[in-house]
Structure formats: structure tokens, C-alpha cells
Amino acid sequence: MKKQGICLILCTLLVGMSIGQAQLLTNRSVVKVNLSGVAIKSYTVQYERLLSRRSSITLSASLSPNAPLPFKQALLDQYGGNDDAKRAIDNTLFTKRIATLEYRFYMAGHAPTGWYIAPFVRYINMDISQDYTYTPSDGILHHAHLDAGFSAGGAGLLLGYQWMFGKRVGLDLWLLGPFYGTKITANFTGEDLLWPSLKPADIVKLKNDIESTDLPLYTVKATLNLPTILAQLQGPYYGVRAFGLALAYSF
């Protein structure tokens, strides 16, 4: 009778372990679509794979095709008094492609729900176009269409929270994720077809105006080999992932 009791206990434990493992293995994949980015023409999809009750790995891809500058209105409020700056802000467009890999640690051990911290790495490839305008001493408005492209990588740490409503549907909040990365060199190149009307003083002023562009942690160097205008932008790849809200589906 005693042996039968021990066997019953062992069987119960084995069955319980099997059920626990089965529950852990079900619904280990979560796919997501970022809802908040659509307003600024940024489209992101993400795949999350659970590794354990406390951890997962995610891979996301983002595309922003021919999008205007983020926070465009805030920039216009700050620089809108300058007609040249206003035109530059209005007509700047970029196409951005980003791939991000992150490892998530769920603090409460109930993956994929609850608070999490996630170290991540990301790669960006970006193309930018802008019409640079200025008015020299001849009083004529000059246009130079500038194009540039660059690639960079970086790493950071994201804090977020994920809800699952039932077994399938959820929301993922990317709360705050600062990152810092490799050095960026972007060469903006274009031509001013009206360059013969420029005087030597105009050329010096144009070079100084380009190089006085104020971007934190970045330097701008201008080379004028008219009609070609080259503006080289150098600095670190840095930024913040913040306040992203994604619709999630678990399977």
C-alpha cells in the first residue's frame, strides 16, 4: 500500500511537470504591428519568441517611406521666422529602414506579460532629400536640391510593458529606450544652377551659413565647388525609442 502511494505521488508529479511544460510551450510566438507610428508614416512589425517564463527574443523591421521630418510642427514653431529654414523643414523627406534585435527580461516571470527590460541592437539605413534655399546679394532665391544617404548601428536599453487580453490579443507599450551607436557620415550633395551670379562674399556667407547649422553632437563641413555644393554631416547615431504602442497577437 505504501509503495502504491509513492507511485501515485510520482505519477502526479510527472503529469504536473508535463502539463507545466506543455503550457510553457503553447503560444510561444507573438506578432505585433506598431499602431502609433502610422501617424508619422513609420510602419513597424515585430516577432517575439518566448524562451522561458522570464525571457524572450524579438526581431522587428521598420520602414518610413518618403516621410516628413518628425515633430515638423515643433521645428516650424522654433525656426519658422526664417524663410529659408521654413522651406527646408517643409520640403525635407526621408526614407528610413531599421532592423532591431532585442532580448527581453520579464521582471515578474510571466512572459509575455508585465514589465520588461530589453537590451537591444539596431541597424539603420537612411536616405534624405532636401531643397536648400538661400538669397544672396543679387536678391534672387537660389535652390540646391541636396541628397544624402548613410548607414549606422547602435545599442540601447528599452523599458516597456505588455498586456495580453485572454490567450491571443494584447498590447505592447515601448515606454523608453535610449540608444547610442556608431559614427555617421552623411554627404549632402546638390547643384545650384544659378551659381554664376554669386559674388565671392556670397560664397563665403553660404559656406558659413551651412557650417553654422546647429545639431547637438554633430559637425557640418561645407565644400563649395560650384555649381556643386557638398555639406558633410558627422556625428554619433543616437536617439530614443519612446511611447510606441503595438497591437499583439499570440499563437
Take residue 26 and report the three cell numbers written for it.
503553447
* Each residue's pLDDT tens digit, 58-92: 999 999 999 887 767 777 777 666 777 778 778 88
Average pLDDT, stretch 216-235?
94
* Each residue's pLDDT tens digit, 156-199: 999 999 999 988 999 999 999 999 999 999 999 999 999 999 99
CA dihedral 50, 97, 179, 37 (to 10 degrees): -80
The full DSSP string for 145-170 is EEEEEEEEEEEEEEEEEEEEETTTEE
Model confidence band, residue 10 (pLDDT cutoffs 50, 70, 90): very low
* Each residue's pLDDT tens digit, 115-172: 999 999 999 999 999 988 898 998 999 989 999 999 999 999 999 999 999 889 999 9
The CA R_g of the chain, rounded to the nearest whole Å, is: 26
Predicted pLDDT at 80: 63
Domain ranges of the chain: 2-250
Predicted pLDDT at 19: 39
CATH number for the segment(s) 2-250 = 2.40.160
Note the pTM of the prediction, 2 decimals.
Answer: 0.83
